[in-house]
Chain A
Amino acid sequence: MAQIEIKNFNLYYGSFQGLKNVNMTIKEKRITSMIGPSGCGKSTLLRSINRMNDMIEGVKTEGEINIAGNNIYDQNIDIDVLRRNVGMVFQRPNPFPISVYNNVSFGLEVNRIERKRNVIDEIVQKSLESVLLWDDIKDKLKKSALLLTLEQQQRLCIARVIAVRPQIILLDEPCSSLDPHATQRIEELMMRLKEDYTIVIVTHNMQQAARVSQDTAFMLLGELIEFDKTSKIFTNPGDKKTDDYVSGRFG
């Protein structure tokens, strides 16, 4: 079970409260999107799910986030193991300035998850296949990843995450630096990946949330205003503020 259960979760940047008592349960093998105006806390919440906020100085949290029944904010949680289980793809494609192959094998090799070369080769191929990149770049594996197009780079970043075999993939506005065609293809990829992974995506783009996700969370000023089936959020929201936002009256 890879469902994410967020319970009474608060987050503070120093004295500023970034997240206010968030409660939600993200179901597994679905795409859940988080929408809301800039600064509403949706990225902060996303980054709380693999504890990327730990890197920011002065961040304090209260409450729990349970993944497969374990509170990831427990004292004895191994953060590196957590992050292998909960992968993350960022706003701008950020492949390492090394070869395509080494980008995908990086997590496996550095963490010594796998040592046998033929097994690593196989995982690299499978990961690139699952993001539909293998056929395009199987002859360019030794080339620098920075020579790829932005869309290919973003696919590579997803493959790099998949290679360490996570159960959950977090995407932080993964299409915001891509053109509409590339965006469409990445969205198709996400819908394929939800068969195997629990996907949470933060997006500025409401149409994108409506197209790809089954569940949608609407956030405002650090609070989770409404969390429901995507169809309900966009057609018949229960909260006036959600209605105002999805119908474009503010935001």
Chain B
Amino acid sequence: MIKLNPKLSQKFAVAFLFCATIVAIIPVVIIIFIIIKNGYSAISLEFLTAMPTNGMRSGGIFPAIVGTLSIVFCAILITLPIGVCAAIYLNEYAKDTLLTRLIKLAIVNLAGIPSVVYGLFGLGIFVMFLGFGVSIIAGALTLSIMELPVIITTARGALNSVPPAFREASLALGVSRWQTIRHIVLPNALPGILTGAILSIARISGETAPILFTAAAFYLPHIPRSPFDQVMALPYHLYIISTQIPNMPKNIIFATALVLLMMVLSMSLIAIIARIYFRKRRKW
């Protein structure tokens, strides 16, 4: 082993760590660059607001955008209240028993299940057993089950970051546990919970496997009328036009990817801005 002098080895270490960081961001930059370069020519108001025509080879992707938004909106509507309630229970009430440790372990493991397994689960339970059919509601339920562990984990983090001194002060005033949570803990945890929810929306917008068997339609050029309607969805639509349709114009494929990417990125951006805003306003 060559012994470098400490100053030099410090420089090497920093350079090496910096390179590793660069490697991490290069693919992101390249992906975004390629998608924009190949896709921007097809982006227009019509592309965003029109029905697909000519076997999806022209026209717009409006039904897929609406489909994705409605599935994701329903999913977050289901998963957020349940997730926050579970997080409150686990963080504020649950004693450290074998049962709660099992629940926490299950939550961690649920987050590691491949999303296609959730898709099959949704097909079995919501589409077939409960008879919702392939529909927005079946897809939303499947996505919400998949996202529940993430919501619970981020909400617990947000609740945990509220200083214990606030809880103590409130309890010492003879305020009950629940009132303390409602008036002190929740208002201060809300920013964290909301940013977590927005990031979840971003994440599930791009999910394909869970909605593959439960919500997504191959080709359905109209707007859904009820939660029990089948819909087109952006990620699945992207998969179809890139693999199943012969003679598909390249720029439409990339433009569809670009729209999906922008939806996800803008959601993350909103979360980042919200976090900065709340951090500035935070007073402790």
Contact = CB atoms under 8 A, between A and B. Distances in A.
B169 interface: yes
Given A57-B95, A106-B183, A144-B283, A96 B170 contact: yes
Interface string A37-61: 0000000000000101001010000
Contact of A110 (B165, B179, B283): B179
Contacts of B169: 90, 94-96, 157, 160
A82 B95 contact: no
Interface residues of B, number: 21
B83 to A, nearest CB: 24
Contacts of B168: 52, 55, 90, 94
A95 B284 CA distance: 10
A81 interface: yes
A82 B174 contact: yes
A83 interface: yes
Contacts of B161: none
Interface in B172-186: 172-176, 179, 183-184
Interface in B136-191: 163, 165-166, 168-176, 179, 183-184, 188
Contacts of B171: 52, 55, 83
Contacts of B166: 94, 96-97
Contacts of B165: 90, 92, 94
A106 B173 contact: yes
Nearest to A91: B165
Contacts of A111: 173-175, 179
A90 B173 CA distance: 12
Nearest to A95: B169
A94 to B, nearest CB: 4
A55 B18 CA distance: 46
A83 B96 contact: no
Nearest to A81: B174
Interface in A86-132: 87-88, 90, 92, 94-97, 106-107, 110-111
B282 to A, nearest CB: 8
A196 B284 CA distance: 33
A96 B168 CA distance: 11
A161 interface: yes
Contacts of B284: 97, 146
Interface in B46-61: none
Contact of B174 (A84, A92, A144, A157): A84
A144 to B, nearest CB: 6
Contacts of A34: none
A83 B165 CA distance: 16
Nearest to B183: A110
Contact of A87 (B173, B183, B188, B282): B173
A80 interface: yes
B175 A107 contact: yes
A7 to B, nearest CB: 23
B269 to A, nearest CB: 27
A219 interface: no
A95 B173 CA distance: 12
A67 interface: no
Interface in B79-113: 95-96
Nearest to A58: B96
Contacts of A84: 173-174
A160 B283 CA distance: 19
B184 A107 contact: no
A106 B170 CA distance: 8
A164 interface: yes
Given A94-B165, A106-B183, A164 B173 contact: yes
B172 A110 contact: no
Nearest to A80: B174
B95 A83 contact: no
9 contacts: A83-B174, A87-B172, A94-B169, A95-B169, A96-B166, A97-B282, A106-B173, A146-B283, A161-B173
Interface of B: 95-96, 163, 165-166, 168-176, 179, 183-184, 188, 282-284
Smallest CB-CB A-B distances: 9 pairs: A84-B174, A107-B173, A94-B165, A83-B174, A88-B172, A97-B283, A80-B174, A146-B283, A94-B169
Given A88-B172, A94-B163, 12 more contacts: A80-B174, A81-B174, A83-B173, A85-B174, A94-B165, A95-B169, A97-B282, A106-B175, A106-B183, A107-B175, A157-B169, A160-B169
